[in-house]
Chains A and B, each alone.
Chain A
Amino acid sequence: MKRREFFKKAATITAGGIVMPYLLPTGRLFAKTNAPLAEHVVFVIFGGGLRQQDSILQRYLADSQGFNSEGNILYNILDGPPPSSKIAYGTTPSGQSSGSQPIPKILNTSLESQGTIFAEMRAISGGHYGGLNSLVTGGNVAGQGLKVRPINPTVFEYARRFGGFKATDVWFIGNSIGNSLPLLNSSNHPDFGLPYGANFFAPNTTFGSDGTAALSNAKVYHPQEELEPVYAMKNFLDQSFNIKKGDMPGIKNTDEERTQIKDFIANTFIRKSTGQLPMPPVNSVDGTTMGYAAEVLRVFKPKLLVVNMSNIDGCHSNFTGYLQSMHRADHALGFLWDYIQNQIPEMSGNTIMMYVPECGRNLKSNPILDSNDWYGYDHGDSNSLRVFGGMVGKNIPQKLRVGSETNPIGKVTDFNLTIAEILGYKSEVQSSGIIDPEARSLFDRI
């Protein structure tokens, strides 16, 4: 080896030796830039396209179907009396008309009274995937295509890279495998990507009939006598193959995390069969998703969990179903907050929950009539960029309403930066320069 080459290699190794201990195992290079406001964040995408007029503005049928019936059908989130006529948003008792039985409140005090509401925010996209992308990336790239990972880093990657969290600290729970949801747990960004991605479940598939057939009969191996040799052999084989970062087929958990998640899968099937899973009292697909999210929270107590709902998108062709789904989504959200506060002591009082839809819905209806002769609504016009959001929990001002119909405040891209502020790495996300330049932490909007 030439002398110059020797010095070069020696210098590189020495530099690496100095830097690596600070990079590993968390991936963090620097200390957190602000004091965390809470230890856990739960971010609920109240999704599927929620029309302002029918939700926070509490106009029920008055602003959509021309009936003089107003009122609040999201009474776990918002303060305000429910409608008194043409009740169709509830459940359907046997022999009665569709939706005639409103679901009882779960929360004694609404999320609005417990926390802060941003009554009139702006979405980035009037479509689902663009909207979801803007929420998870904090970016304003509305033209992101389906079937590809986001081009900008996601909230999960920021959390793992700048927050130093391990894979089981960061979760994304999707309500299906459609709409490219499974691709939203990580971006394709070269500086972030799958090594910093979140664990993902679409529990209605993982633990539904497909998952039951493919997973529920899996052997549970002894951690030391069986799994340890398997992992030792697998790790040897993987070192020999040396896969490139860009070729990774999914995120990577450590051996210990893999064992923990496999136990979780096995136990979830058992708890499901014995009726022990936490579920909202009134069920729905969105509600089931929230129930599984509660189970992930109970077991892993993650630093960050994002969960999405989407049943309200049935509004394209069934306005009555949309009202019912909206009411159930409110019920499921109330259930989740109640569960965190009362059933997970490690997270109670130390968690901030945030909620917002990915987009709104159109001002004008489409021509599709449902069984009540009510018109459906699509999304894509300027009205579908109108949304509301909120946050509740530790360090969140109570009974505060920010902005109004005539004074919009906040953008959906604010949530990413807000999560960064809550978990303590706001300036690192800001200085990355990859988020919407107009985005602000919601704390700075108050």
Chain B
Amino acid sequence: MNTRISKILIVSLFCMLLVQCKKEEDDVLYQVVNTVSHGDNLKKDKSKTNIEFHSILSTNLFQKPSSIGELSRIDRVLQSCGDRTLINEVVIGNYMNSPNVILPTRERMIDSTEKFIEETYIRFFIRRPTEAEKTWFTNFINANKSNPLFRPELVYTAFATSDEYMFY
């Protein structure tokens, strides 16, 4: 009796194997949109307001947000000058003179140049650098190693005053 049941079970299993479900050939879409999380060509076409710009910048440099009173004051000062990039450079120069500004060390920039460049791009532009950008900055930093005044502060100033940083 047991042998008979076993035979029936084996035959049933064999039949089930024949009609088992197969892996689908087509790609399955789970309604997840492919998104580049830190690509090299993010579209930035909205200009930051003066207050947005300096709120983000001061958070980047001091690791804490500025007060609204300070941001309003900077907004008025920026309006009072026709070249916004230029006056931003002066405001940033003012920030850089603060004892509270937090910057990477020169050693970090020299010893881990690629990492430093990548971190700087992500910090300011919310994206990774392209290979071309990484190469250019690596060469530039290497070429300026012998200049003792060349330091992360200058790199940060260039990023903070760049056109791309004014947009989101």
Contacts and interface: CB of A to CB of B under 8 A. Distances in A.
Interface of A: 167, 172, 177, 182, 185-186, 197-203, 205-206, 210-211, 213-222, 225-226, 229-234, 236-238, 240-241, 243, 247, 249-253, 258, 261-262, 265
Contacts of B93: 218-221, 262
B90 A182 contact: no
Interface residues of B, number: 42
Nearest to A220: B93
A369 B8 CA distance: 113
* Interface class of chain B by DSSP: helix
B77 interface: yes
Interface string B43-70: 0110100000000000000000000000
Nearest to A171: B82
22 contacts: A177-B76, A186-B82, A197-B82, A200-B80, A200-B81, A206-B77, A211-B80, A214-B73, A215-B94, A218-B90, A218-B94, A219-B96, A222-B149, A225-B149, A229-B150, A233-B158, A237-B162, A238-B162, A241-B167, A249-B85, A250-B85, A253-B86
B91 A218 contact: yes
A247 B157 CA distance: 21
Contacts of B150: 225-226, 229
A7 B73 CA distance: 57
Contacts of B81: 200-202, 206, 250
Given A214-B77, A262-B90, A250 B82 contact: yes
Contacts of A202: 79-81
Contact of A210 (B73, B89, B167): B73
A63 B159 CA distance: 61
Nearest to B159: A237
A241 B89 contact: no
B163 A243 contact: yes
B74 interface: yes
A259 B87 CA distance: 11
A129 B86 CA distance: 27
B155 interface: yes
B90 A252 contact: no
Given A177-B76, A198-B82, A238-B164, 11 more contacts: A167-B83, A182-B80, A197-B82, A200-B80, A213-B73, A215-B87, A218-B96, A229-B147, A232-B140, A233-B159, A253-B86
B103 interface: no
A253 B140 CA distance: 24
Nearest to A194: B82
B97 A230 contact: no
Nearest to A265: B90
Given A215-B91, A241-B164, A252 B85 contact: yes
Given A214-B74, A214-B77, A233 B154 contact: yes
A177 B80 contact: yes
Interface of B: 44-45, 47, 73-74, 76-77, 79-87, 89-91, 93-94, 96-97, 133, 136-137, 140, 144, 147, 149-150, 154-155, 157-159, 161-164, 166-167
A328 to B, nearest CB: 22
A264 B149 CA distance: 23
A233 B76 CA distance: 28
A247 B47 CA distance: 8
A226 B149 contact: yes
Contacts of A237: 158-159, 162-164
Contact of B155 (A220, A222, A233, A261): A233
Contact of A201 (B82, B89, B161, B167): B82
Contacts of A172: 82
B106 to A, nearest CB: 13
Contact of A182 (B73, B82, B163): B82
A254 B147 CA distance: 24
Contacts of B83: 167, 199, 250-253, 258, 261
Contact of A258 (B86, B91, B159): B86
A206 B79 CA distance: 9
Nearest to A185: B82
Contact of A206 (B80, B89, B137): B80
A211 B161 CA distance: 19
B82 A236 contact: no
Contacts of A265: 90
Given A182-B79, A198-B82, A229 B45 contact: no
A222 B93 CA distance: 12
Contacts of B157: 230
A409 B76 CA distance: 40
A80 B133 CA distance: 70
Contact of B158 (A225, A230, A243): A230
A247 B154 CA distance: 25
A250 B158 CA distance: 17
A188 to B, nearest CB: 15
B147 A200 contact: no
Question: Which of A167, A203, A219 has the most CB atoms of chain B within a 10 A radius of its CB?
Answer: A219
